[in-house]
């Protein structure tokens, strides 16, 4: 088969679309004929190389995918050949104290499809059957491939970690990324108000169309003053910060007394300037979150099936032009997900 892969870490010049053996099924595994995959910021980190991770090369990229069941291994009997399936990339051991409690995202051996093991950006991918779900009938492959990683991540952040309630004010930095647009949809579904920021008026326009209540271009306005003005000096209940260095101090200023800041990433860097006095004085809760448990994944897939949640797709590229798609993602011009079609 052909796949988007690297032979060594480096820049995007390392990414190739070339022939590689089809992945083989084993016990409990299912081979999927890929119809669509989607890019994540994680793909760029994997190309560059993650500290302490020694990948077997060549390594196929990709942590989101959807397609048709092509072959099932022994003991894999939940699906039939030809079933339309979508992927949950969370690989957990199933044996540790956290897995035993259903807390798969806390698994001591947690890893992801495409991060430590072979990914989805090929004509076929092989994963444990427990990681697949049937695609709801009216959902097309592109949507199914664009959905999982960002929605399960944003769902856990907002529902499980911050316990979002109707009427909550939620600030989302850097609207346009996959997780931030998923968070926008989940806040609106939960009956909250969205405050979104970006450096791009175009992205803010799209955010407004997608339901954002207040939009701020941080290159033109003092976001903290604007939000304090709009909330009667109170601040917001929840801040979704996936940016890190560039936004952390603002997040602390934006949160109301007793408010929550939740993070699942740090695209601008992981060591921000902080302000401990405001953290204790305002009694803030700072929450980490990563991926989701299987129960949370089932919840978001059900909402996808009920058409209550729907991914925003920015652009699609053919799988063969995956390198070009990664370059496009790296430029951060997208609003929503970049999808590859096989």
Q: Which residues bind Zn ion (CB under 5 A)?
A: 92-93, 96, 99, 107
Structure tokens, 232: 């009667």
Q: How far is CA 311 from the centre of its chain?
A: 11
Distance, CA of 209 to CA of 201 (rounded, Å): 12
User: Is residue 236 within 8 Å of residue 187, measured between CB atoms?
Assistant: no
Which of 117, 180 has the CB closer to Zn ion?
117
CB 65, min distance to Zn ion, A: 23
Nearer of residues 107 and 127 to Zn ion, judged by Cβ: 107
Q: Pairing relation of β-strands 64-72 and 29-38?
A: antiparallel
CA–CA gap between residue 175 and residue 171 (Å, rounded): 10
Closest to Zn ion by CB, 92 or 247: 92
* Comparison of 99 and 319: residue with beta carbon closer to Zn ion: 99
Q: Report the 10 Å Cβ neighbour count for 78.
A: 14
For the CB of residue 147, give the shortest distance to Zn ion in the complex, in Å: 24
N-term to C-term CA, the chain: 11
Name the strand (E) or helix (H) holding 254: helix 248-254
Instruction: Give the DSSP letter of residue 122.
Output: B
Residue that has been written with the tokens 């989607």 in this structure: 38
Q: How far is the CB of 116 from Zn ion (least distance, A)?
A: 14
**Beta carbon of residue 104, minimum distance to Zn ion (angstroms, whole number):** 7
Cβ of residue 75: shortest distance to Zn ion, in angstroms?
19
Q: What is the DSSP letter of 42?
A: H
Spatial CB neighbours of 292, under 8 Å, sequence gap ≥ 6: 88, 90, 104, 105, 152, 153, 155, 156, 160, 300
Between 107 and 325, name the residue whose CB sits nearer to Zn ion: 107
Tell me whether residue 38 or residue 92 sits nearer to Zn ion (CB atom): 92
Nearer to Zn ion, 59 or 156 (CB): 156
Minimum distance from CB of 106 to Zn ion (Å)? 8
SS3 state at 299? helix
- In the complex with Zn ion, the residue whose CB is nearer, 41 or 104, is 104
Instruction: Please state the length of the chain.
Output: 342
- CA 195 to CA 59: how far, in whole Å? 39
CA distance 186 to 164: 9
**What minimum distance in Å lies between the beta carbon of 292 and Zn ion?**
14
Q: How near is the Cβ of 289 to Zn ion at its closest, in Å?
A: 17
Q: Which residue in this structure is represented by tokens 């931030």? A: 180
Pairing of β 337-341 and β 313-318 = parallel
């Amino acid at each position: 088969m052909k796949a988007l892969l690297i032979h060594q870490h480096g820049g995007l010049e390392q990414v190739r679309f070339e022939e590689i053996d089809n992945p083989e099924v084993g016990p409990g595994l299912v081979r999927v004929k890929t119809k669509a995959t989607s890019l994540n910021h994680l793909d760029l980190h994997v190309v560059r190389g993650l500290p302490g991770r020694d990948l077997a090369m060549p390594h196929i990229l990709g942590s989101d995918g959807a397609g048709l069941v092509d072959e099932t291994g022994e003991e894999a009997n939940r699906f039939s050949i030809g079933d339309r399936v979508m992927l949950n990339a969370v690989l957990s051991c199933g044996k540790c104290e956290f897995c035993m409690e259903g807390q798969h995202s806390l698994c001591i051996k947690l890893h992801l499809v495409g991060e430590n093991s072979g990914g989805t950006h090929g004509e076929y991918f092989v994963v444990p059957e427990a990681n697949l779900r049937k695609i709801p009938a009216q959902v097309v492959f592109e949507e199914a491939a664009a959905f999982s990683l960002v929605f399960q991540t944003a769902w856990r952040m907002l529902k499980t970690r911050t316990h979002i309630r109707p009427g909550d004010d939620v600030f989302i930095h850097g609207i346009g990324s996959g997780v931030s647009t998923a968070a926008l949809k989940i806040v609106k579904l939960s009956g909250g108000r969205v405050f979104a920021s970006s450096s791009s008026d175009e992205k803010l326009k799209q955010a407004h169309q997608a339901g954002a209540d207040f939009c701020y271009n941080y290159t033109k306005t003092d976001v903290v003053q604007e939000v304090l003005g709009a909330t009667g000096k109170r601040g917001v209940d929840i801040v979704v910060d996936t940016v890190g260095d560039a936004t952390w101090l603002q997040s602390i200023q934006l949160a109301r007394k007793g408010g929550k800041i939740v993070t699942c990433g740090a695209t601008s860097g992981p060591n921000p300037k902080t302000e401990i006095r405001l953290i204790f004085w305002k009694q803030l809760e700072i929450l980490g979150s990563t991926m989701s448990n299987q129960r949370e994944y089932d919840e978001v897939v059900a909402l996808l099936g009920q058409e209550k949640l729907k991914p925003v797709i920015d652009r699609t590229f053919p799988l063969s032009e995956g390198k070009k798609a990664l370059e496009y993602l790296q430029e951060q011009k997208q609003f929503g997900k970049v999808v590859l079609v096989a």
